[in-house]
Amino acid sequence: MPFDPASFNPPTRTLMGPGPSDVPPRVLEALSRPTIGHLDPRFVEMMEEVKGLLQYAFMTENALTMPVSAPGSAGMETCFANLVEPGDKVIVCINGVFGGRMKENVVRCGGEAVVVEDEWGSVVDPQKVEAALQAHPDAKILAFVHAETSTGAQSDAATLCRLAGEHGCLTIVDTVTSLGGTPVKVDEWGADAVYSGTQKCLSCVPGLSPVTFSDRALEAVKSRKTPVQSWFLDLNLVLGYWGSGAQRTYHHTAPVNSLYALHEALLILREEGLENAWARHELNHRALKAGLEAMGIGFVVKEGDRLPQLNAVTVPEGVDEAAVRRTLLEEFNLEIGAGLGVLAGKVWRIGLMGHASNRRNVLFCLAALESVLSRMDAPIEKGVAVDAAMAVYD
């Protein structure tokens, strides 16, 4: 075949997987505004607003609140690379994929990982964490995932941060999937290093990672005995560009247009209001749940521990889960997520994140899923899902 590329025109999908989620037109329009210099005074003004808007989203006064110029994984790595020095002991909670990645980060920073494990689909058990903190009084950091996207479980960040504080530990908290969808209260929790992502409940394009560091955490970064191994993520250097009152010296070229998009996405969040956004995610989750349960499809995570924005549900007996996802994509332009790790092949992950968390998507997803499953002769209850969801809205 001759090499004959043309402009790429992606199909218009409805994104109800684990991220990216649907990006609203306002954010896409912001992305297409003229590129200006990353040291342009007008751009620098906007950067300051982005910091303020992120403080709003994270519910923090932390001066060090900014987007890292790379996806959520880089936010994770920023926290570990800056806070973990060779030999440091870090208690890492693992109850899904992302806790496992935290451990990998600790090891690669030369730290010693003490793992507290919980089953996939369960929340992090505070009693186990407390026992680990008691058994390891020399631990420097407690790291955990607030919203485990691989399973849909939400852990009790307030309690875990309190326990860490009582034992003199700093905390690293993953809020990639929670920020903008469920309460993330950095200052109230007393969390120290918290990172997120733009493509989940913030409904922005992928590729940026908001982070926030408490003064205590920043102090730990500044008083390191060894240089941060990563040049790009070393906050001591990054702050020369992003820091408050910094000279804005060149560190790397900021992703200018992506930052316009983030600015717009955060404005939308602020216009709606955090509390309203949380309530919207909760309502749409309840409607989706009613519809799925009416159909006979159950959840992986027990009630009360579930994330409204990430619904991990069990695939009905005998159904080829990959074929269902493929058909949803081909016939309905609808993307839902597959299971990861131990849940691969057993579950679907239905996201209701940010802009995508709306009534139309809930009803569309239920109708599409029912249509595909019916034609596969799957053992589901037919003709009841949409009405069950509507009953929640009414």
Ligand X SMILES: *Cc1c(COP(=O)(O)O)cnc(C)c1O
> Which residue ranges make up the site for ligand X (CB under 6 A)?
19, 71-73, 76, 98, 145, 147, 149, 174, 176-177, 197, 206
Amino acid at 26: R
The residue whose Cβ lies closest to ligand X is 72
Using the minimum distance from each CB to ligand X, give the nearer residue, 142 or 147: 147
Using the minimum distance from each CB to ligand X, give the nearer residue, 98 or 241: 98
Minimum CB distance to ligand X, residue 376 (Å): 29
Q: Are 133 and 55 in contact (CB under 8 A)?
A: no
Using the minimum distance from each CB to ligand X, give the nearer residue, 208 or 373: 208
- Number of separate helices (H) and strands (E) present in the chain: 14, 13
CA dist., res. 54 & res. 180, Å (int): 10
Minimum CB distance to ligand X, residue 341 (Å): 13
Rounded to 10 deg, the angle between the 157-166 and 126-135 helix axes is: 20
From residue 367, give the alpha-carbon distance in Å to each of 106, 113, 268, 292, 302: 44, 46, 29, 10, 25
Minimum CB distance to ligand X, residue 180 (Å): 13
Minimum CB distance to ligand X, residue 241 (Å): 21
Question: Hey, how many other C-beta atoms are within 10 angstroms of the C-beta on 344?
Answer: 12
Per DSSP, the residues of 220-253 read: HHHT-SS--S-TTT-HHHHHHHHSTT-----SS-
Using the minimum distance from each CB to ligand X, give the nearer residue, 299 or 363: 299
Residues belonging to the chain: 394
Using the minimum distance from each CB to ligand X, give the nearer residue, 157 or 388: 157
Q: What angle do CA 380, 383, 385 make, to 5 degrees?
A: 75
Minimum CB distance to ligand X, residue 198 (Å): 8
Using the minimum distance from each CB to ligand X, give the nearer residue, 98 or 278: 98
Minimum CB distance to ligand X, residue 277 (Å): 18
Q: Which residues have C-beta within 8 Å of that of residue 155, sequence separation ≥ 6?
A: 93, 95, 123, 124, 144, 145, 146, 147, 148
